[in-house]
Amino acid sequence: MGDLHGGSREPTYSGALSFMRRRFSRDLKGVDVAIWGVPFDAATSNRPGARFGPQAMRRASAIFNGDPQFPSGHDPFATLAVVDWGDCSFDFRHLERVPELIQAQAAEILATGTHLITLGGDHSIALPLLRAHAQIHGPLALVQFDAHQDTWKDGGGQSHGAFVTRAKAEGAIDTHRSIQIGVRTIAPNDFGIEIIDAHEARGLGAAGIARRIRERVGNAPAYLSFDIDALDPAFAPGTGTPVIGGLASVDALLALWELRDLDWRGMDLVEVSPPYDHADITALAGAAVVQHYLQILAEKSR
């Protein structure tokens, strides 16, 4: 493809794997959004496999290519120049260095003024991503879709269940503006973060969820961290720590779409674990969340 704008002409079942057929490039001149993979899952506490998530979501995303996108009805790439930046580079023999490498490479992208969308990987990758974003934007309002609060005690090392604890301690997030949606497990602390648990979310519906998020975040710079296990395993079986009773895909997507007015500064989509998936259900769900987020950015730029 010779231009950064417009759709691909390749059939959805062929061609190289990149997210929604975007050009693979590390040249960010003239680029609005970079999509980047972090294939790391060594911090999982249950089932591994999320290292294969970026590849699976790229493959699944091809189905969205070439048509006006739902629900906007527009081609986001008519107004947004988007590239697939490839994956984070790290040496698997030195896992202790992975967080600093994620942060450094994210900072390299963000320093160009490019909006960063990250495909994980387990949820531990959100911590270095938040650090990199906070260095530019200040403390962020964390909008976290998740079955878990991820506020367990920070015992050092790397854990996908304690990234919020450390982000709060480091001042990367503004807990008074942050909110978690879909939670259906109990953790020792909430740090003042507002929680819409899965039962409450069911009663609120998508419009009610969006209203509560908007009221909490206000005009603060916001970061979206979407753990695919926020969805019920019926909609996302391929994840490391599935919890019954979660959100339906349509409610999560509709709630996100209602939040087009928020000041989004970046996002990650994590915990897609293809070894436990079936017929790409989970990878498709993850790709759809990113597709909706891209449309939100495009609508803002129109």
CB-based contact 200:181 (threshold 8 Å)? no
Can you tell me the distance from the alpha carbon of 127 to that of 141, in angstroms, rounded to the nearest whole number? 14
Picking from 242, 210, 244, 208, the residue whose alpha carbon sits closest to that of residue 228 is 242
φ, ψ at 183 (rounded to 5°): -65, 135
Chain Cα centroid distance, residue 270: 6
Is 154 assigned to a binding site?
no
Can you tell me the distance from the alpha carbon of 201 to that of 209, in angstroms, rounded to the nearest whole number? 6
φ, ψ at 62 (rounded to 5°): -60, -25
Can you tell me the distance from the alpha carbon of 49 to that of 122, in angstroms, rounded to the nearest whole number? 9
Can you tell me the distance from the alpha carbon of 176 to that of 192, in angstroms, rounded to the nearest whole number? 6
Is 84 assigned to a binding site?
no
Can you tell me the distance from the alpha carbon of 67 to that of 53, in angstroms, rounded to the nearest whole number? 24
Is 122 assigned to a binding site?
no
Dihedral of CA atoms 185, 188, 191, 195 in degrees, nearest 10, equals: 20
Can you tell me the distance from the alpha carbon of 6 to that of 65, in angstroms, rounded to the nearest whole number? 10
Picking from 178, 195, 176, 175, the residue whose alpha carbon sits closest to that of residue 186 is 195
Is 229 assigned to a binding site?
yes
Is 174 assigned to a binding site?
no
Picking from 222, 216, 238, the residue whose alpha carbon sits closest to that of residue 287 is 238
φ, ψ at 76 (rounded to 5°): -60, -25
Q: At what angle do helices 249-257 and 281-301 cross, to 10 degrees?
A: 10
Is 3 assigned to a binding site?
no
Bond before 121 cis per omega within 30 degrees: yes
Which residues does the annotation place in the binding site for Mn(2+)?
123, 146, 148, 150, 227, 229
